[in-house]
Amino acid sequence: MKKGILLSLMSLFFVVSMSGQKYFTRDGKISFFSDTPLEKIEAHNSKATSVLDASNGNLEFAVLIKAFQFEKALMQEHFNENYMESSKFPKSSFKGKVTNIKDINLKKDGEYNATVKGQLTIHGVTKDVETTGKFVVAGGKISAKSAFNVAVADYNITIPAVVRDNIAKTVKIAVDIKFEELKQ
């Protein structure tokens, strides 16, 4: 009998500890940087969503292209209308995994290096990508950062000859996320 109670208590603890395994945000920051000798361009989006399942490392991102904000209105217009065709392809997304999630303890303060692998979709084109990032857990708060490069041509984005020297062939994408625990 005692054993039965103990077992059910244990399974209850197990369920409780398992339930806090999903993390999300709807205020994720994604920026990109195009750097050429002629022109530096950057744009920021602070409305990315992301879900991380710490039990298996599944990680997803989604971002609305039209929510990227540029310093110059003209660049934002070109970005949306000519390069990203954001009315046709309003979203970009990532679906993949933190491959070394077993080495990361999101319940414990510390810095953890992460390897991320998955499929990145931009401009309607999906490619396999792999990058590294960092999780920082401090005072129970979880943040994640990563930066990686994307070749514009890989995603069928054509840059007209006139501005070829103004826009980098490879743009840097920076991700900066503060995760919250998903209460179910």
- Kindly list the residues in this chain that would bind other proteins in the complex (CB under 8 A): 26-27, 29, 46-49, 62-67, 69, 72-74, 76, 80, 87, 90-91, 178
> Nearest approach, Cβ of 23 to other proteins (angstroms)?
14
Nearer to other proteins, 71 or 130 (CB): 71
CA atoms within 13 A on the CB side of 137: 14
Nearer to other proteins, 65 or 104 (CB): 65
Residue pair 27/154 in contact by the 8 Å Cβ criterion: no
> Nearest approach, Cβ of 159 to other proteins (angstroms)?
17
DSSP string, 51-88: EEETTT-EEEEEEEGGG-EESSHHHHHHIIIIIS-TTT
Nearer to other proteins, 91 or 123 (CB): 91
> Nearest approach, Cβ of 65 to other proteins (angstroms)?
8
Nearer to other proteins, 49 or 115 (CB): 49
Alpha helices by DSSP H, the chain:
2-19, 73-78
> Nearest approach, Cβ of 75 to other proteins (angstroms)?
9
Position 150, amino acid: V
Nearer to other proteins, 59 or 104 (CB): 59
> Nearest approach, Cβ of 10 to other proteins (angstroms)?
31
Residue pair 80/86 in contact by the 8 Å Cβ criterion: yes
Nearer to other proteins, 85 or 154 (CB): 85
Question: Which of 120, 110, 129, 135 has its CA nearest to residue 57?
Answer: 135
Q: Give how far Cα 43 sits from Cα of 11, 18, 37, 71, 148, Å.
A: 48, 38, 18, 7, 15
Residue pair 118/59 in contact by the 8 Å Cβ criterion: yes
> Nearest approach, Cβ of 93 to other proteins (angstroms)?
9
